[in-house]
Structure 1
Amino acid sequence: MFKILIADDEPIAREAVATIIKKHFLEKIEIAQAQSGREAVEKAGTLQPDIVCMDIRMPGLNGIETIRELKRRYPEMIFIVITAFDDFDTVVEALKLGVQDYFLKPIKIDDLVRSLQKAIGQIMQRQDEREEALNLKDTVSKLMPELEKELIYTLFIGNIARIYDYGYLGLLGIKTECGGCFGLRIDAADEAEAQRAAQRIKQYIKNRYRGLSSSLQDGKMIVFLFEEITVKDREFWLHECAKNLAQATHCEHVFLSVAPYSTSLHELRESYLTVAAVLENSNGNEGTVFCKTWDSFSVEKRTEYPFKLEEMVFQEIRRGCVTAAHEKTVQLFEVFAQISQGSQKKLVGEIQKFVAALIRFRMSVESEEGTEDSFDLFTDPVELMNRCLQEVETLCHTAVQPDKETANESIRKAIGYIRENYRNNISLCDVADHVGLSSFYFTKIFKNELGMTFVRYLTSLRIENAKKIMEKDPAVQIKELCYEVGYNDPKYFCRAFQSIEKQSPTAFRRALKAKGRQEEKECK
């Protein structure tokens, strides 16, 4: 819905412009009128119009003064001047104010329609840009946790060059390499309470610091906090951070290890090794241990391959639970980082054990897609981890697949369901649930069978039915038609119609009426 304000002191002139608009833009325009500049300013405050059609000579505030005031309040408002006043200086002043068009009365209908179409196009473009910006913001917010995990992995394995190459700190809004590393062991009554404590720490860090935290594994987690602190205040800052993190858990039994303040990513990596070593040897202690030096000789304690955790990954894959399988895989990588003790070669070796397990699992479910060669392309541990995560997600979708006959039956049922319910607000997930398939697999077989996506099919079906309704009743209101075929927004319906038919619903209806008149003439 677009809003237009017509400001002119002559009622006949206002009605003439309103009539043109109603005739050519019936489905998407709300019109208001004002008989003076002052009234135009007042109505603009209430209506918030997208477009203002403005006369120049009006009582009180003239058109130029009114445009200037409205531009000050609403910079994106579009102005079209329609006036009998052809003073050159006034025209120049109007154009300086950003007026889109300056027409002299009597205005030609085609000129006004073209100007309004141009203005509406600009407004729609702005709306699309805003929507795109919101989508981008949403995408970035969803990516942030993955970026944080990757930075943590990279710090764990000591690949500092990768952090610089990919600019992880900048992407996460972290402006310094300085800060502290803290190791926590949470001794809670059960695993659920420990996880809640870990979530409280994550939320506290998000609210109070620039920082990152690993997931909780066997009651232990690592926290990195980034902040530039003067030399004399660093010890105090570390003590305060440790105290705040312990309090944020809301648990009685907490152990913390705190490394010396770090001034570079290399030192931060040493800090991680130090606090991890202290955690491994804490043996049920409570309280806080402040390490005075980096003990990177660290604990050569042997850690066995986490077969139990690996099996939990495959259990989630069998259930098709993408999120849970992803989380378990991330925990598996954190264990690999602890086992490797900073050795990239050893880390790659541990990950390759998991790769072998993934390949065996894929062979066991008889998937047609081979993956052995694809893993061989990766020698960097982080890239290999990301490839494993992609494989885990793929397996969640493809571990169990219907045969060709089942797929055909599913598509038949899906089409029947869509045709029965296209007038309702149905989604891909609704249809997939109806036929008993995952959204991922349904999307794939639907496009393979019909040669188009679900959204395109649903849109085409709705527009085809809209055309049939208009053919039966060319006088039907666009708004009514929109709701009749399953849309809740007339503006969105018009855009969908345009994308399929390459013309607006109004133009299609006009063509129908013209065809009808031609047929009547031929019959006579």
Structure 2
Amino acid sequence: MTIKVLIVDDEQVEREGLHAMLRKGFPGLNIAEAKNGRIAVEMAAEFEPDLILMDIKMPGMSGLEAVERIGAKYPGIKFIMVTAYDTFDYARKAIKLGVRDYVLKPSKAGEITATVGRVLRQIEEERQSAETSRRQLDTLQKALPLVETDVVTQLLFDHVHEVHLDELIGLLGIRPASGMFVMVVLLPHGAESSYSAVKDKVRQAGTGWVGALYGRQLPIIVFRETGRSFRSQAAALAGGIVAAARPGALPGWFVGIGNECASLDGIRQSYQEALIASMDPTLPVKYRFYADTPVPGARQGGALAKQREKRFLDRIRLGQWEQVRADMMELLQHDESEGTDLLQAQQRALEQLWIVARVMEEMGIETSTPVFSFQARDYRQLRAESGQLLDRIARQHKEHQARHEPGAIQRIKQYILEHSHKDMTLESIGAAFDLSPFYISKLFKEQLGVNYIDFLTECRIDKAKKLMADPQLSLKEIAYGIGYHDPNYFSKVFKKTCGVSPTEYRKALLGR
């Protein structure tokens, strides 16, 4: 982009002389002239100069007054004062107004060219810096949807170092303040394309982060609004999501809502509760709060019941089917010993099976909805039928593992090694391998004993160490080159990982 320069002087011969000097020294400039301060103020809006060479003493509006007016309205414009008056008072006022330099008349052409050249270089550097920042911001804006889904995945399913989570949350521009809760949106078969409509609805509300779509389940972390009750906010958002996602076609849509928690530390518990609340999508109202869910013993057992629920869900995720079966049979045994009506016990068993199916969908494993083929005549028959339905889900889980697990973690590791310099999230890895983000996280923990982001960080830091051996590369260039959007964050991660800052490490490396 051409740099524009405006010459302001009441003497025509002075304007023409400066014009000729600049044209000779900097042929590419776009140069205009103004014969007084008032005209310069008017031309600043129309011509939009990058640099103004301003005389101080002019009839009517002085150069200093013109600088003050123009600078107040267009702070990006730079000024060089060109005057015959070499007084401290003028210089002091000019400096206060942000004038970049001061040239006395008459001056040699070389002096004027050198002074103007310094300011033009500043303008070019600022333009390049602004363009670099713009490109980085564009890249970051494109990455934010991935960052959002990754934050949700890590908060709900994974353990993540605080330094990583702080950066991710900072990029999203939301700092959790008061309360929050989780909603699980259950989409009907064939409605996966409505994912973007749900995200748009949450973004319009401006109060939540939307996770990745696991099977037909979509988790959302919602932040509390001040001056509004938890139930009112949650019900309004749930109703809006269902209506916006597929207007006029509600069957199959359902939203489970977990309890409110005070901080991100309790967000996994709220997610577990939302999952349980979504277990029966056949209800006439298309959302349900966990507090209103008739899970056996959940309302009476308090903390102990929550522990049992968490243990049950964890066992399903870990594929511990013998223990899952034992939990199911224990529930039926309890109902039988309490003399619970058989039809009610069958409904409770069905709800537990729905939870199992929901967790399978979370892991990206499609399962058919568990349904009893008949009403049980006694508890023995109910136990047998429940066991068969559970065995069918367990087989589907094992078949999924047999198809995807052999060698999967090695392929994923290689993929991360090759692409670690790019924007990398569990969702993007999952898309590359047709696996759910949660399932990938599970593989890392079980087979490598580490969090996926720890492995990704290790890959990036190893690359950074190699690049630091090249003294031609700045630390900022290295940070961007290995996949970090923020050099300060790169320094923080490097020091946490290596025990020294990148600067200290490089000094030691190049010193050797």
Interval of TM-score (by shorter of Structure 1 and Structure 2): 0.5 to 0.7
**Which amino acid counterpart does residue 380 of structure 1 have in structure 2?**
V
Q: CA deviation at 1:4?
A: 1.0
Give runs of aligned pairs for residues 179-218 of structure 1, distance below 5 A: 179-188=180-189, 190=190, 194-218=191-215
1:22 is aligned to 23
1:296 is aligned to 310
Q: Secondary structure at the match of 1:296?
A: helix
1:46 is aligned to 46
Q: CA deviation at 1:326?
A: 3.6
Residue from 365, 381, 402 that aligns with 2:451: 381
1:115 is aligned to 115
Q: Secondary structure at the match of 2:31?
A: strand
Work out whether 1:268 is the aligned partner of 2:267.
yes
Q: Distance in 2 between matches of 1:96 and 1:122?
A: 19
Work out whether 1:247 is the aligned partner of 2:247.
no
Give runs of aligned pairs for residues 484-523 of structure 1, distance below 5 A: none
Q: Secondary structure at the match of 1:332?
A: coil
Q: Distance in 1 between matches of 2:431 and 2:403?
A: 11
Unpaired segments of 5 or more residues in structure 2?
292-298, 300-305, 317-355, 357-393, 461-512
Q: Secondary structure at the match of 2:231?
A: helix
Report Cα offsets for 1:246-283 as digits up to 9, x if no partner: 2221242212211112223343201212233454x437
2:12 is aligned to 11
- Percent same amino acid among aligned pairs? 24
2:445 is aligned to 348
| RMSD of aligned Cα (Å) | 3.6
Q: Secondary structure at the match of 2:40?
A: helix
Q: Distance in 1 between matches of 2:440 and 2:428?
A: 19
1:151 is aligned to 151
Q: More deviation in 116-125 or 206-215?
A: 206-215
Report Cα offsets for 1:143-186 as digits up to 9, x if no partner: 32333233223233352x63576314344223226212111221
1:75 is aligned to 75
Q: More deviation in 69-78 or 167-176?
A: 167-176
Alpha-carbon spacing, 1:3–1:215, altered in 2? closer, same or farther (3 Å) = same
Q: CA deviation at 1:110?
A: 0.6
Q: CA deviation at 1:386?
A: 4.7
Q: Distance in 1 between matches of 2:64 and 2:206?
A: 51
Contact 2:274–2:289 under 8 Å retained in 1? no
Q: Distance in 1 between matches of 2:200 and 2:89?
A: 61
2:510 is aligned to none
2:374 is aligned to none
**Which amino acid counterpart does residue 105 of structure 1 have in structure 2?**
K
1:505 is aligned to none
Contact 1:176–1:226 under 8 Å retained in 2? yes
Q: Distance in 2 between matches of 1:217 and 1:165?
A: 23
Unpaired segments of 5 or more residues in structure 1?
341-345, 353-377, 391-524
Contact 2:55–2:63 under 8 Å retained in 1? yes
Q: CA deviation at 1:57?
A: 2.4
Q: CA deviation at 1:229?
A: 5.1
Alpha-carbon spacing, 1:165–1:45, altered in 2? closer, same or farther (3 Å) = closer
Q: CA deviation at 1:327?
A: 4.8
Give runs of aligned pairs for residues 26-425 of structure 1, distance below 5 A: 26=27, 28-159=28-159, 162-163=161-162, 166-167=165-166, 168-176=168-176, 178-188=179-189, 190=190, 194-227=191-224, 233-250=229-246, 251-253=249-251, 254-279=253-278, 281-282=279-280, 287-292=286-291, 295-299=309-313, 300=316, 301=356, 302=394, 303-304=397-398, 305=400, 326-329=429-432, 332-334=435-437, 336=439, 348-349=445-446, 352=447, 379-383=449-453, 386=456
Q: CA deviation at 1:385?
A: 7.5
Report Cα offsets for 1:37-64 as digits up to 9, x if no partner: 2112122221111111122222211222
Q: Distance in 1 between matches of 2:404 and 2:457?
A: 19
Q: Distance in 1 between matches of 2:203 and 2:233?
A: 17
Q: CA deviation at 1:284?
A: 5.7
Q: Distance in 1 between matches of 2:459 and 2:95?
A: 57
Report Cα offsets for 1:461-511 as digits up to 9, x if no partner: xxxxxxxxxxxxxxxxxxxxxxxxxxxxxxxxxxxxxxxxxxxxxxxxxxx
Q: Secondary structure at the match of 1:58?
A: coil
Alpha-carbon spacing, 1:215–1:165, altered in 2? closer, same or farther (3 Å) = closer
**Which amino acid counterpart does residue 252 of structure 1 have in structure 2?**
L
Q: CA deviation at 1:113?
A: 0.4
Alpha-carbon spacing, 1:239–1:109, altered in 2? closer, same or farther (3 Å) = same
Q: CA deviation at 1:297?
A: 4.2
**Which amino acid counterpart does residue 111 of structure 2 have in structure 1?**
D
Q: CA deviation at 1:131?
A: 1.6
TM-score normalised to the size of structure 1?
0.58
1:488 is aligned to none
Alpha-carbon spacing, 1:310–1:248, altered in 2? closer, same or farther (3 Å) = farther
Alpha-carbon spacing, 1:107–1:195, altered in 2? closer, same or farther (3 Å) = same
Q: CA deviation at 1:115?
A: 0.8
Q: CA deviation at 1:126?
A: 1.5
Q: Secondary structure at the match of 2:229?
A: helix
**Which amino acid counterpart does residue 233 of structure 1 have in structure 2?**
S
Q: CA deviation at 1:309?
A: 7.0
Alpha-carbon spacing, 1:74–1:385, altered in 2? closer, same or farther (3 Å) = same
**Which amino acid counterpart does residue 106 of structure 1 have in structure 2?**
P
Q: Distance in 1 between matches of 2:69 and 2:170?
A: 42
Contact 1:326–1:389 under 8 Å retained in 2? no
Contact 1:158–1:269 under 8 Å retained in 2? no
Q: Distance in 1 between matches of 2:91 and 2:455?
A: 65
Alpha-carbon spacing, 1:63–1:221, altered in 2? closer, same or farther (3 Å) = closer
